[in-house]
Amino acid sequence: MQWDALYLFARQWGIQPSEFWGMTMGEWHCEYELHSDDLGGEKFAGNLTQGDVDEMLYELDLSDEEWWKENGITNGQG
């Protein structure tokens, strides 16, 4: 997960750092959906590409087990 990218999005939307760190992924995704029309095509926070955004949104839909499996770690163990 690209936490710095998620953070940059939140700051771009006016969300304060303490509010960002208290958010769940579901809350972040809701904010993204609310603000995605404001992004205007290819304009993303920092130097993100559309591919980066698509990957983050894909990862948001994964269960914990699926995420660990796709990232090469099983059962949440490093």
Q: pLDDT tens digits for 29-66?
A: 888 878 776 555 555 665 667 777 788 778 777 787 88
Instruction: State residue 7's pLDDT score.
Output: 86
Instruction: State residue 30's pLDDT score.
Output: 83
pLDDT at 17 over 60: yes
Instruction: State residue 24's pLDDT score.
Output: 87
Instruction: State residue 47's pLDDT score.
Output: 65
pLDDT at 76 over 60: no
The CB density around residue 43, as the number of other CB atoms within 10 Å, is: 9
Instruction: State residue 22's pLDDT score.
Output: 92
